[in-house]
Amino acid sequence: MDNNRVRANESCGQDEDFLARSMESADWMEQVRNLNTEYALRTGKVRTYRLDVFGCQMNERDAETIAGMLTNMGYEQVPEDQPADINVFVTCCVRENAEEKVYGHIGALSRECEKRGSIVVASGCMMQQPHVAERIKNTFRHVKIVFGTHNIHEFPRLLHQHLTSGKRVFEIWDKEGRVIEDMPIKRSQRHKAWVNIVFGCNNFCTYCIVPYVRGRERSRRKEDVLAEIRALAADGCREVTLLGQNVNSYGNDFGEKDLFARLLYDIEEIDGIDRVRFTTSHPKDLSDSLIRAMKECGKVCEHLHLPFQAGSNRILERMNRKYTREHYLDLVDRIRDAIPDIALSTDIIVGFPGETGEDFEDTLDLVRRVRFDSAYTFIYSPRRGTPAEKWEQTEPHEVISERFKRLVEVQTEIATQLAKKYEGKTVEVLVDGPSKTNPEMQSGRTRTGRLVNFRAEGDLTGRMVDVEIIRAGAFWLEGKEGVHRG
């Protein structure tokens, strides 16, 4: 086998071979660990790694698995700004600027790798695109190992192969495999955790690359999810965020209906867990039984991320979103009837091919009607291989930029107004740790997902604190000294 070639494994996932190879992951970890023990005895040094993660929470979660494997193999993590023996990139391809950043960061390491004899490992969504893997192979000689989203568990074998042969190892599967359980994990925080419940996406929104790089929907078994959350709780975790490209279709691949709602009721019973969040919900699949479960489960936070993408029915149809603005507005009404104080956040794309000024006004109108607590706003970026890539952009760049600016202004104004209602109120904050901008302040989140900074003596990481809000801006709340609750 030529390891310098991008290899697409047609048969992965559907056969016994796949299972056998995933079980071998632990054996390969042991082999690499032995190599590192020998190295440490010989040199008195421990090999190091650093992680550079781009994109969404799925990637953050994948990075925790990669960190878990590296730790298991005897590597020590160093901060992002320090040199390491292995530089691992977990990449994102959802928009072009994410990709450009990755190329920039990888390129910037070329000198350092040459000087220190260190290497780059590139993984994640970008690598699932053959033209990207090809460009990496031809342009960045210091990238020694490449794998994709479907064969993360193969990393130890690929690393062993590189360490023992010195050759570059590129292996990317073009198809998803079965869900793999029990991979090692090095969690970035103790009190909060991401928990995958469903991988992949079946929706094929016409602008989106995700279904091509993350494969079809595969749900984890409910018992496996619950076992993981029980173990997290036993380890001091207080908040879980359930992850899926579309959590509302959890269990559909088992032929189970409303399994996601049932999962929420089951998590509600787990002692030690105080807060449950989930992302992302597709508006076409959010059922009344889920709304009921959100209302009835006290641990489910009053926050829902519900991307609407565009406010015009014509654009929604071209995007293949399978709902109308009327459906979305009605859904929001039903959610607010059940949970009046819920904070809503969303994703919005501006400048989708064919979007006219009138279509954009529909987007603004929807933003004004719903009044989101926060919104992630994006300018449309054509993605290779998606249907919309071929569609003509009718509007000049300046017009789209202007629309984007207006949207951000309108949304910021709304977020600021909504924030004001927190002033003078006392809110429950789960503390994440010292604030990044001012270490004298502690920083955490309300149940509604708002960022709160407040003054406190000592480190309250992982504690639940009641904080009185004295000032509120669009993106943060400032509190008085907090009162511990637990």
- Contact flag: residue 211 with ligand SF4 (CB under 6 A): yes
CB 126 within 8 A of CB 106: no
Cα–Cα dist 317/91, whole Å: 30
Interface stretch with ligand SF4, choices 65-73, 109-117, 206-214, 234-242 (CB under 6 A): 206-214
Smallest distance, Å, CB 107 to ligand 5AD? 24
- Contact flag: residue 95 with ligand SF4 (CB under 6 A): no
Interface stretch with ligand SF4, choices 42-50, 167-175, 196-204, 260-268 (CB under 6 A): 196-204
Smallest distance, Å, CB 443 to ligand SF4? 29
* 203, 313, 324, 393: which one binds ligand SF4 (CB under 6 A): 203
Interface stretch with ligand SF4, choices 7-15, 199-207, 287-295, 322-330 (CB under 6 A): 199-207
Which lies closer to ligand 5AD via its Cβ, residue 122 or residue 319?
319
* 32, 73, 205, 290: which one binds ligand SF4 (CB under 6 A): 205
The one of ligand 5AD, ligand SF4, none whose footprint includes residue 380, by CB under 5 to 8 A per kind, is ligand 5AD
Residues in contact with ligand 5AD by the rule CB under 6 A:
94-95, 207-208, 307, 309, 347, 349, 378, 380-381, 383
Binding to ligand SF4 in span 236-255, by CB under 6 A: 245-246
Smallest distance, Å, CB 122 to ligand 5AD? 21
Which lies closer to ligand 5AD via its Cβ, residue 207 or residue 454?
207
The amino acid present at 326, given as its one-letter code, is: E
The one of ligand SF4, ligand 5AD, none whose footprint includes residue 123, by CB under 5 to 8 A per kind, is none
Which lies closer to ligand SF4 via its Cβ, residue 140 or residue 207?
207
Smallest distance, Å, CB 352 to ligand SF4? 12
| Cα 461 off chain centre by | 22
* 120, 210, 290, 370: which one binds ligand SF4 (CB under 6 A): 210
The one of ligand SF4, ligand 5AD, none whose footprint includes residue 383, by CB under 5 to 8 A per kind, is ligand 5AD
CB 281 within 8 A of CB 249: no
Tokens of 424: 């003078």
Smallest distance, Å, CB 207 to ligand SF4? 7
Interacting residues with ligand SF4 (CB under 6 A)? 201, 203-205, 208, 210-211, 245-246, 282
